[in-house]
Every structure is written in C-alpha cells, then in structure tokens.
Amino acid sequence: MDEDVVAWLERWYQAHCNGDWEHRSGIRIETLDNPGWHVQIDLEGASMADKPFAQPDAGQGAAADDWMYCDVQNGVFDGYGGPRQLGAILHVFQEWCARFPSRDMPLSPEQQDLIDARESIERVRRVLGRENGPERCRADGCERLHVAHSVFCGDHHIANLQRVGALPVISVDGVRVLRRADD
C-alpha cells in the first residue's frame, strides 16, 4: 500500500469507530524517556484481534536510535522504538493488517476484490452443504462423496463453476484473485 501510514491509520481508526468501540478501545501514541516512541493499539472488537503476529526484526542496527520492538499480547498491539522509528512502528502494524484484509479496515481495490471473491465462494459452499453422498463425486479419481445439490463434491462443484466463469478464481496461497467472475 502506497498510502501515507498516518492517513491509513486515520482510516483504520474511523472504520472501527461504531459508537461503541471508541469508548472502550483506542490508539495511544506517546514518547518514552529512553528516548523513543510507544504506540499502543487496542484490537478488542477488531478483526485483527485473533490474527497471528510475527515479531519483526528488532531494528536495522545502523544506529543506536534505530531500535524497535513490536508485539501483540492480550488483544493489544504494542510498538516501541527509537526517536526516528514512529513511522516504522506504524508501518509494522499496517503491514500486519494488510496480510489479513477485512471489511473493518481501509482496503485497496485489490483487497476489496479478494474479500468479495472469498465471500462469493463461501456463499456457494454453504448452499452446497455437506458431502453426504451416498455416491462418490463424479470427477475422475475423486474419492469424496457428492454434496446434496450436485453430483460432485464441494471442491469439484466449485471448480466447475470457476471453469465457466460463474465464480472467481483465487491463487493457491489465498492472497490474490487470479480471475474475476463474469458478470
């Protein structure tokens, strides 16, 4: 995302304010006497609350002031860093959010597409229901039973819909729309 990180954080904050969240939760940015910065972002009620967080490398090491430490504990993002690391801390939070796009945060058009695509596939999967058979899926070599409303298992039914352009196609790693559905 190329958007300025402060503008992005403003939009993230605004997207979470719903008349309730902002009374219990918020974002705090303060200075430390180290000296440095401390950024604290409450995640309770946010989609990021249950997402895995990998700590970034602890600073670039070019100068003593470059140190940075970020972690997520008990539903709170905490970022600490040297005097010139405020932007870097916010960037860590932004990058983390970008890995788990959801409707409660600022989205790029590509992320919006991805969420739409996931939801349309999930919707079909719910309608298809469970693979109860009793016959096996009609696809060659598939060992699974068919779903109630198709002669195929869920995956093969969805693959067929994707082949004819009725459903979007998402990359295997799940982070990109390879082909949108035909309108």
Using alpha carbons, select from 83, 82, 79 the residue that is nearest to residue 95.
79
Is the Cβ of residue 16 or residue 156 nearer to Zn ion in the bound state? Answer: 156
Residue in 29, 139, 159, 181 binding Zn ion, rule: CB under 5 A = 139
Size of the site for Zn ion (CB under 5 A): 6
156 binds Zn ion (CB under 5 A): yes
Token digits of residue 105 = 């945060």
Closest approach, Cβ 147 to Zn ion, in A, equals: 9
Q: Is 137 in the site for Zn ion (CB under 5 A)?
A: yes
Name the DSSP letter for residue 150.
S
Structure tokens at 81: 């860093």
Instruction: State the binding string over 53-92 for Zn ion (x if CB under 5 A, else -).
Output: ----------------------------------------
Q: Residue 166 in contact with residue 181, Cβ under 8 Å?
A: yes
CA torsion sign for 16, 21, 25, 28 is: positive
- Minimum distance from CB of 16 to Zn ion (Å)? 41
Least spacing, CB of residue 135 vs Zn ion, in Å: 11
Q: To the nearest whole angstrom, how small is the minimum distance from the Cβ of residue 158 to Zn ion? A: 10
Q: Is 153 in the site for Zn ion (CB under 5 A)?
A: yes
The per-residue b/e assignment along 29-57, b for 16 or more CB within 10 angstroms, e otherwise, is eeeeeeebbbbebbbeebbbeeeebeebe
Least CB distance from residue 173 to Zn ion, whole Å?
22
**Which residue lies nearer to Zn ion by CB, 76 or 142?**
142
* Binding of residue 158 to Zn ion (CB under 5 A): no
- Of the pair 16, 146, the CB lying nearest Zn ion is at 146
CA angle 65/69/74 to nearest 5° reads 155
147 interacts with Zn ion by CB under 5 A: no
Q: Does 159 participate in binding Zn ion (rule CB under 5 A)? A: no
For residue 129, give the amino acid letter. Answer: G
Q: Output the CA angle 155-118-112, nearest 5 degrees.
A: 160
Provide the 3-class DSSP secondary structure of residue 118. helix
Instruction: Provide the binding-site residues for Zn ion, judged by CB under 5 A.
Output: 137, 139, 142, 144, 153, 156
